[in-house]
Structure 1
Amino acid sequence: MPNNYWHFMVELYNYSFETCEIPDKFKEIHMVLLAKKGAICKPDQTRPISLIDNFMKVQERLFLNRFLVILENKGILPNSQSGFITGRQLQTRVLLRIEQISSYMANSSPVATVFVDYKSAFDQLWFMGCIGKLRKGGIPDPYVDWVYAWLIKRRAVIEISGERSRWFPINRGGPQGSSFTATLFITYHADMEYFIPGAMSFLFADDLAAVLVEQIGVKFMEEC
């Protein structure tokens, strides 16, 4: 697009943010299926990657920059989360977990770690549940309304070896390949650290390691 045309897009983006409406054409996705293991596999063993409209990508990034400020000001994202957050690394989270476990063991405290991995977590994002959590978390209504407009009325087509599927609606999940999906996901699951009461949680995106510790001489079986 010629540079002198971008002012039209600026007006369109501003209008979209003000009215919380997104052109349906922006939400049409061409989907590519990548095999998780092996060259040939079943459909449920593939990872769908969304080729998103370029104009939609720009708008997502513009919105994300504003959304992150809201999350930071309200302290919504937990310190235990290291996934998709600038300045936080997986290596740091692993070292903290090892250090914490070592400290407990040095005091002869019984320690157990529960590892949780949610199957197809990104693909199972519940639209209305997500919107409800955003409102409960105090996200301003205009932001929530725009996210809702971004989630609904999506449709996709899959192309394999030149053959295309019919267009089909997307009623759950966030597009993998979007700059906004990951942040929305960890916001939706910001309360996941409380999954196991009394545990110290370490999160990386949808992966959870919950460390439980008890007093010396107390068996875990007696606590269950």
Structure 2
Amino acid sequence: MSTESDTVRKSSRVVQALPTTVAGIHPATRENPVHHQADQYTQGQLPTTNLTDLQQLHQRYRVVVPSNLRGGDQTSSQLPTGCPKPNSSDAVPMASNGIFVANDSRRFRRSIKQNILFFPGEDRSDVSNYRPVTLLPVISKVLERLVANKLTKHLEGNNILSIAQHGFRKSHSCLSNLLLTLDDWTLAIDNGNPIHACYLDMSKAFDRVNHSILLQKLKQHGVTGKLLAWLENYLMDRVIQVRVDGALSKPVAVTSGVPQGSVLGPTLFLIYANDIPNLVRCKIILFADDIKLWASIHTSEDCVLLQEDLNALYDWSLRNKLPFNFQKCKMLNIGKCVEFTYTLGPHRLAWTTDEKDLGVWISSSLKTSLQCTAVYKRTSKILALLKRIFGRFTRQTLPSILNTYIRPTMEYAVQVWSPWLQKDIVLLQRIYHRATKLVTGLQSKPYEERIESLKLFDFCYRRIRGDLILTYNILHTPNHPLQKLFVRREPRISRTHDYLLAVPHSRGNSRRYFFAVRVCFAWNSLPQDVAHSPNLNIFKTNLDSFLSTQPNIEPPHSA
């Protein structure tokens, strides 16, 4: 029998405190408050469930779910009784009526939230410093995957999702978001045009999604019939319990939001926020609920236009019941420009000289030194901790240590912030110098000998290699969102490859050392057999073989 501790009750009240629905009115029956725009998403109705889906369900479930496995919620992971096998006599009528009737089971709409400390170093007794991880039944996630695949195929196949959205989409990521942003900013600064950029963040956006508005937007996006009914059933009557130290709270009704930790939740949120880019005239880019809005400032009229877009976004947040987190909304002044007083509703936006953007520090000068310093400090702490724990490493263990603990930090989105000042390059190289000295028997050896003995690529080599691998992916992936970074040019001699890039003109260092400019020199230097590799793995092999013979194929660094 579950018991409730004081911490559990407090955590449960945090869930209950989230804005939900109008009291006493079921979300499915309330009048839709969404702001109606031109319905441009009615083409391409989603197909209904068929027998193949039922076969996919059993195949996927048999592969990924052992019969004795229990989910994080500790419920059985076995298929429900009402779901027949694909070769049974009940399969065809079951498929024709929609196999997802299994979702009617209440246990599929029950979830448990395990709290984790979201702000390290903060008061552990304050429940507001925690963020929940939702534990859902395994069978629910398998069913969701089939629905999510259909929904994603419909959205991407009909080009319904905005090109400004980079969250939870194939070939889109934090990296693509940041590269497209900085491509525009570095080009503007190089042309002498300062930028006013707004960083906007919604408050607990996934937990506040209004169900009735979401269902209306699903209809506008071409989701109708049995699938819409299934999604409505999926959202309604959900309950949640909070677990702390093994103690469970009483079940609490969840009347808003999409389940975090679910397969469908991110896709449903993308649909909910898909109309945001249509509201503004300035440039905008999103990663889920994180919004960047900016404009090149020539006159005060440009500032007024940016303010009007902020007003439109604030009005959208009121209509769609997703308030902004004013404390996280900032203004960044890039280049030399007089600051303007911008407001977001009743809140005056504060100016900042640097901002952490999807894990990368962006400064108003667009130099990468701040990010390089942050990466060095973090990896230094990790390396010091590993040294205290292990003392020394063997030649076999250090590569695994680097791959697991060091490189994820040093190489996260490194194409965005690749250092070009010599002092920053030297700073980050120290991590490899210190790490390789921890190997038994190599302490007194020169750095180059240590690297060769361990068969490691040093940081500078990996930066060039990472740039070229990303470029290969961009040029060889149809409709890649980053293809707009490059302009192809015709080869002048037969010995060069067919993927040559035009090197953009640049005046300042921020543009000269930006990914889309700096990589052209190295990419155009590749021989034909490397650039024309049939797949990524072969490209990596050919690239490593070629780079081992080249002392330096990147442009010189700034002092």
State whether residues 16 and 22 of structure 1, in contact with CA within 8 Å, keep that contact through their aligned partners in structure 2: no
C-alpha displacement of 1:162: 2.5
Which ranges in structure 1 are unaligned for 5 or more consecutive residues?
Answer: none
> For residue 106 of structure 1, what is the aligned residue in structure 2?
190
Structure 1 residues 17, 185: CA separation in 2 closer, same or farther (over 3 Å shift)?
A: farther
User: Deviation string for 1:44-88 (max 9, x for gaps)?
Assistant: 332121111111111001111111111123322111111111211
2:272 pairs with one of 188, 209, 213: 188
> For residue 95 of structure 1, what is the aligned residue in structure 2?
179
C-alpha displacement of 1:110: 4.2
Q: Could you say which structure has the greater relative contact order, defined with CA pairs below 8 angstroms and 6 or more residues apart? A: 1
State whether residues 127 and 151 of structure 1, in contact with CA within 8 Å, keep that contact through their aligned partners in structure 2: yes
C-alpha displacement of 1:35: 1.6
Which ranges in structure 2 are unaligned for 5 or more consecutive residues?
Answer: 1-66, 69-77, 308-559
Q: Determine if the alignment matches structure 1 residue 122 to structure 2 residue 198.
A: no
Whole-Å separation in 2 of the counterparts to 1:9 and 1:61 = 18
Name whichever structure is richer in strand by fraction.
1
> For residue 203 of structure 1, what is the aligned residue in structure 2?
286
C-alpha displacement of 1:220: 4.3
> For residue 54 of structure 1, what is the aligned residue in structure 2?
138
Q: Determine if the alignment matches structure 1 residue 165 to structure 2 residue 249.
A: yes
Whole-Å separation in 1 of the counterparts to 2:165 and 2:104 = 30
State whether residues 20 and 145 of structure 1, in contact with CA within 8 Å, keep that contact through their aligned partners in structure 2: no
Structure 1 residues 18, 122: CA separation in 2 closer, same or farther (over 3 Å shift)?
A: closer
Q: CA RMSD in A?
A: 2.6
State whether residues 135 and 141 of structure 1, in contact with CA within 8 Å, keep that contact through their aligned partners in structure 2: no
Under a length normalisation based on structure 2, what TM-score does the superposition of the two structures give?
A: 0.37
Q: Determine if the alignment matches structure 1 residue 8 to structure 2 residue 92.
A: no
**Bigger CA drift: 14-23 or 142-151?**
14-23
Whole-Å separation in 2 of the counterparts to 1:186 and 1:221 = 29
User: Deviation string for 1:144-189 (max 9, x for gaps)?
Assistant: 2211111001111112122211111111111111111011111111
User: Deviation string for 1:161-220 (max 9, x for gaps)?
Assistant: 22211111111111111111011111111112235x211111111101112235x34454
Q: Determine if the alignment matches structure 1 residue 23 to structure 2 residue 105.
A: yes
> For residue 35 of structure 1, what is the aligned residue in structure 2?
117
Q: Secondary structure at the match of 1:119?
A: coil
Whole-Å separation in 2 of the counterparts to 1:222 and 1:122 = 31
State whether residues 31 and 51 of structure 1, in contact with CA within 8 Å, keep that contact through their aligned partners in structure 2: yes
Whole-Å separation in 1 of the counterparts to 2:196 and 2:304 = 14
Greater radius of gyration (CA): 2
Whole-Å separation in 2 of the counterparts to 1:13 and 1:32 = 35
Number of residue equivalences? 220
State whether residues 295 and 302 of structure 2, in contact with CA within 8 Å, keep that contact through their aligned partners in structure 1: no
> For residue 79 of structure 1, what is the aligned residue in structure 2?
163
Q: Secondary structure at the match of 1:8?
A: coil
Q: Secondary structure at the match of 1:79?
A: coil
State whether residues 28 and 156 of structure 1, in contact with CA within 8 Å, keep that contact through their aligned partners in structure 2: yes
